[in-house]
Chain A
Amino acid sequence: MALCPRTIFIMGNKMKKPLVVLATSVFWLAVWWILSGWIGQEILLPSPWVVFLTVCRLCRTAAFWQAVGVSLWRVLSGFVAAVVAGALLAVATCRFRLLHTVCSPLLHVVRAAPVASFIILAYFWIRLDVLPAFIAFLMVLPMVWANVAEGIRQTDRRLLEMAKVYRLGFWRTVRHVWVPSVRPYFLTACTTGLGFAWKSGIAAEVICSPARAIGSSLGDAKAYLQMPEVFAWTVTVVLLSVLLERGLVWLVYRHKQEVTP
C-alpha cells in the first residue's frame, strides 16, 4: 500500500509523541534528582528514588488501598451527583426564566469563591465523611450547569422548527435534536469537572481529615514532617487524577472514530 507524504508525516508524529513525553519526563526527573542531591536534606526535598520506594512501601499496605478506594468513592459520588443535578438545573433554568434569575447569582458566587472557604464553612455543617463528596459536588455543579445551559441556548432553532413542522413530538425532538446538540457541551463539562472534583475533594480531605482518606494521609504526613510520604501521596493523587481523566475520556469517546488531524 502506497502512503502519501501527509500520512507518513502523521505516522511520524504519532511515533514521536511518546518519545517526546518520555524524554521530557526523564529530563524533569533528572532535575529533581540533581536538586535533591544538591540540597541534601530529605526533610526538604527527597530524591525521586526515595519517593518511589515510599510509594512501593505504601502500596503493600491495606490502609493505602483503603484510603484510595474511600477517596475515589467520595469524589466520584459527589461528581456523579453534580453532573445529574447540574444537567437538570440547566434544563430548568433555561425553561423557567425566573428560576434562572434566582439561581444565577448563587451559582456565580460558588464559581468565584475559593474552594477553601467552602471547605471551612462546610466543616461546621456537614459530617466529615460526606464533606469531600459535598465539596466535589459544589465545584462541579456550576460547571455542568453553565455548559449544559450554553448547549441548550446554542441549539439550532432552525432544526427545532424543522422538528416542529414534521411533528416529531417531544421525545423524538429531545432524542434527535436536543441531546446531540447539547452532548459536546455536557461532555466537556464532565471531562474538565472530574479533575476539579478530584483536586477539591482531596483538598477537603487534607483540611478536614476524615478517617481513611488520601487527603488525611497527606495531612498526617505533613504534620509528622514525613516528606517522602507527602511526595508519595502527592504522586498517588496525580496518577489517579490522570487515570480518572483518561478513563472518562476513553469511556466517553470510545465509539467515536479517530479524526485525522
Chain B
Amino acid sequence: MSIQFHCVSFSYDKTPVLQEISWRLPDTGVVCLWGPSGCGKTTLLRLLAGLEKPTAGAVEGLDAKRVSVVFQEDRLLPWLTALENVMLPGTGEKEAKEMLTRLGLEDVCGVCPSSLSGGQQRRVALARALAAPCDLLLLDEPFNGLDEGTWQDILPLISQKARACPVVLVTHVRAQAEGLQAQVVSLSNVPISGFLSFETDKK
C-alpha cells in the first residue's frame, strides 16, 4: 500500500506549518523535498517517521512499515562502537560490517563515536540507515559535513535502496537530487497547503 497524506494539517505551538496537505509517495525511487530552511521539510519527514501526529487528517500506509532515518544530527549512541550502532536496528553483523566497509569505515568498526571525526560519525549514521532492513528511507540533509567526493560515492548505495522502497531526501544541494534522479517537490510558502506535486508533473 502506497504512503499517502490525506488533508494533513500540522501546527507547532498553534503556528500552522502544514495545512490540508495531500500527497502520494511513489512506491520506489527518490523524492527530494526542496525549499528554504524552516519551510516544513523536516516536519514532513517527522510525520513520515511517525514521530509527530497530524493535528488533522491522516498519513496512511505507514502501518507495519519499517522506517530508516538519517536525522539532521547523527544520533549515535556514544557508549556503543560504530559496528554496534549500525547493528542496533537489528541488522546482522555481516551486513553491518559490509556497509561500514563500503563507506570506508572498516578500520573503525570497534571505535566509539567520540573517537571518530565528524565525517566518520556521519557515515556511521548513514551506514546504520542504509544497512537496516526498511520499507521507507528518510534522509534529512544526510551529507552534512561530507565532502563532495564522499557523498558522490554514497549516492549509488541510496539509488540501490530506492529500487526496493521509497526514499525521501531533504537537501539544499541540487546536484545530490540530480545524482539520485530524484523527483523534486518544491516547497516555498509557510504554511504549506494543498496538493504537493513533483516539478516534472508541472512541466
Contacts and interface: CB of A to CB of B under 8 A. Distances in A.
A161 interface: yes
A165 interface: yes
B69 A165 contact: yes
A177 B49 CA distance: 19
B77 A180 contact: yes
B88 A177 contact: no
Chain B contact residues (Cβ within 8 angstroms of A): what range? 10 to 19
Given A158-B71, A176-B88, A165 B77 contact: no
A166 B68 contact: yes
Majority secondary structure of chain A interface residues (helix, strand, loop or mixed): helix
Contacts of A177: 77
Contacts of A35: none
A50 interface: no
Contact of A158 (B50, B66, B73, B132): B73
B50 A168 contact: no
A161 B42 CA distance: 14
Contact of B80 (A161, A165, A167, A176): A176
Contacts, number: 35
Interface residues on A, range: 10 to 19
Contacts of A166: 68-69, 88-90, 132
B90 to A, nearest CB: 8
Nearest to A179: B79
B43 to A, nearest CB: 14
Interface in B71-88: 71, 73, 75, 77, 79-80, 88
Contacts of A168: 88-89
Given A158-B73, A159-B77, A180-B79, A165 B88 contact: no
A162 B71 contact: yes
Given A158-B71, A161-B51, A167 B89 contact: yes
B67 interface: yes
Interface string A171-199: 00000110010000000000000000000
* 4 interchain residue pairs of minimum CB distance: A166-B89, A162-B75, A180-B79, A165-B69
19 contacts: A159-B75, A159-B77, A161-B51, A161-B75, A162-B69, A162-B71, A162-B75, A164-B50, A164-B51, A165-B50, A165-B67, A166-B68, A166-B90, A167-B66, A168-B88, A176-B77, A176-B80, A177-B77, A180-B77
